[in-house]
Chain A
Amino acid sequence: MTQDAAGWRADPAHPAVPCVAVTLDGQTLHLPEGQSLAVALAMAGQLELRRSPTAGTPRGMFCLMGSCQECLVHVDGNAVLSCLEPVRAGMSVERDLLHRARDGASA
């Protein structure tokens, strides 16, 4: 990456959104409330949301409109499209990366 590389971030012309605590695979993160979960995770540097089911390559949000299904994560135990899911205080987000790592370890 080049020197002026910068993360995914909010347009500074808009008022900042208050952040709330959520957990991602058990770790606490502070994300902007009401923001699309997939976008908020990208802003927190978490672009990888899942692994492809056969080749296991990293995947992240792609269409942001509920079509591609690449942004699927589990929120409080339910499978949701994170691009369409607003950030709520206390939500528990799990990616399937963990399970794969665990499966891999036990295999």
Chain B
Amino acid sequence: MSRYDVIILGGGPAGMRAAITARQHGLDVAVIDEGQRPGGQIYRAPSRDLQPHERAGATDLAQGERLRAAVAESGAHLLTRHRAWAAAPGIRVDCIAPDGPISLEADALILATGTIERVIPMPGLTLPGVIGLAAATILLKAHAVVPGGPTVVAGVGPLLYAVAAGIGKAGGRVAAVVDLLAPSEWAGALLGLISRPDLLARGAGWMAGLRRAGVPIHHRATLAAIHGGRGVEAVEIAPVAADWSMIPGGPQSRIAAASVAVGHGLVPATEFARLMGVAHRYDAARGGWVPEVSEDGRAGENLYIAGDCAGVSGAAAAELAGSLAGLGVARDLGRISDDTYEKLTARLRPSLRRAQRFGWTISAMMALRPGLACGIAPKTIVCRCEDISRQAIDNAVAGGVRHVNQLKSTTRCGMGPCQGRSCADAAAEIVAANTGLSREAVGIWTPRVPLRPIPLEIALGDFTYADIPWPPMLPA
């Protein structure tokens, strides 16, 4: 078993910066990431040699390369293509590596697992050719591929415009942008965004490009349905009220499409923090369930949580939070004094607060509103893995279900191979709406190892029959 001072789970901006900082203070560091190279979501490494050029993502590509070079030089052990499936206090992390299972041990753990995308289902969401909005950023940035056109880009948040503009620049065709927010809501957020004029300018550039290309933008609207047999053929666009519920009898329009990119916000990936016993609270404006941590990301003895997995706040804040976590571990493990820790962190905190102000403004805009999940039609599939419909969830609640764990055991909703990552929010919203309980009260699935599907031999362990300690035979 390999042993380190600190294991960092996740090699995005938070994890890379935490590793660089911890290395600066002499710690032996392992970074675990399932990607081919470090980078995380926003700085995802291109899958092949791409020429950085003037297009959406070029700035991110350059910043990603800088961070990757710095973390490679830092001397941290970069365990890429390692997928973690369990973690335990102590500290032990179990992974599947390219050559098979491995377990790592360390004195401290920094969780930097980032986010996953929330997509509230509508009819047709499971059709091939429909991908997540965040997935579309990966398609464009890491793979330099455009979805089959025409593409409808729908959901909420800045990624809508980043993806629509990116598809256009890369030679694709966007049939429409369908934005849950009203223009006035974007304008209302400007004050919180003004601290990053560079990013505001980038956003304005995307909008101008879309307008020039004549791409229709539907505000305060949603995808009522995606139509098609074995692939996407058309979508139905419907107006929504301020709570994102579809306006009954509102004018619907049907447009032809060959692909759809749809996403309704980012959710902190908290399964490892929950497995480690960290308390969580529900905070819609930070993406959903977030771990209870100090301002410096400390969640417990030798345990830190940094970046978007502690509450969605964006890449700049993720890097600063990573630095703070790296310093926290260096102090906890006795590599720097409390005084040095105070001096170094005092410099970082104001920058972190500034970055968070920007990030939190955006995550608050993307905060899930109750009307979206309430409007899911009875026949719509909510749990993709197990084909569980809205109706089945309604029936379970009518039968007495009050908590998502009860829902899981009575319907299998959330029990499939994705471990409930895809449907968690939609299922919890439906239970909350039907019972009148809060999201806090209906809870969150209890994480179960393995957190990722693993081959059966690994789950069973590598011992054989001969290793089983039989009690000695009694004398006859």
Q: Which residues of A are at the interface with B, using a C-beta cutoff of 8 A?
A: 1-2, 4-15, 17, 32, 34-36, 39, 42-43, 47-49, 52-55, 57-70, 72, 79, 84, 86
Q: Which of A9, A35, A47, A57 contacts B129 (CB 8 A)?
A: A47
A84 to B47: give the CA distance in the assembly, Å.
10
Q: A13-B55, A63-B132 are in contact. List 15 more A-B contacts (CB 8 A).
A: A5-B150, A10-B145, A32-B48, A34-B48, A53-B386, A59-B126, A59-B128, A60-B129, A62-B135, A62-B422, A66-B34, A66-B83, A69-B385, A72-B417, A86-B47
| Whole-angstrom distance between the Cβ of A12 and the nearest chain B Cβ | 5
B104 within 8 A of partner (CB): no
Q: Which residues of B are at the interface with A, using a C-beta cutoff of 8 A?
A: 34-36, 41, 47-51, 53, 55, 83, 116-117, 126-132, 134-135, 138-140, 142-150, 170-173, 230-231, 233, 256, 258-259, 381, 384-387, 416-418, 421-422, 452-453, 455
Complex interface: chain A residues within 8 A of B452 (CB): 66
| Whole-angstrom distance between the Cβ of A15 and the nearest chain B Cβ | 7
| Whole-angstrom distance between the Cβ of A104 and the nearest chain B Cβ | 16
Complex interface: chain B residues within 8 A of A53 (CB): 385-387
> Is the beta-carbon distance between A58 and B128 smaller than 8 angstroms?
yes
A34 to B36: give the CA distance in the assembly, Å.
11
Q: List 13 A-B contacts (CB under 8 A).
A: A4-B173, A11-B144, A13-B53, A14-B144, A49-B128, A55-B381, A55-B387, A58-B128, A63-B116, A68-B418, A69-B418, A72-B417, A84-B35
> Is the beta-carbon distance between B47 and A48 smaller than 8 angstroms?
no
Q: Which of B48, B230, B416, B455 contacts A35 (CB 8 A)?
A: B48
> Is the beta-carbon distance between A64 and B149 smaller than 8 angstroms?
no
A14 to B138: give the CA distance in the assembly, Å.
16
> Is the beta-carbon distance between B144 and A60 smaller than 8 angstroms?
no
> Is the beta-carbon distance between B132 and A64 smaller than 8 angstroms?
yes
Closest to B452 in A: A66
> Is the beta-carbon distance between A6 and B128 smaller than 8 angstroms?
no
Closest to B125 in A: A62
| Whole-angstrom distance between the Cβ of A107 and the nearest chain B Cβ | 19
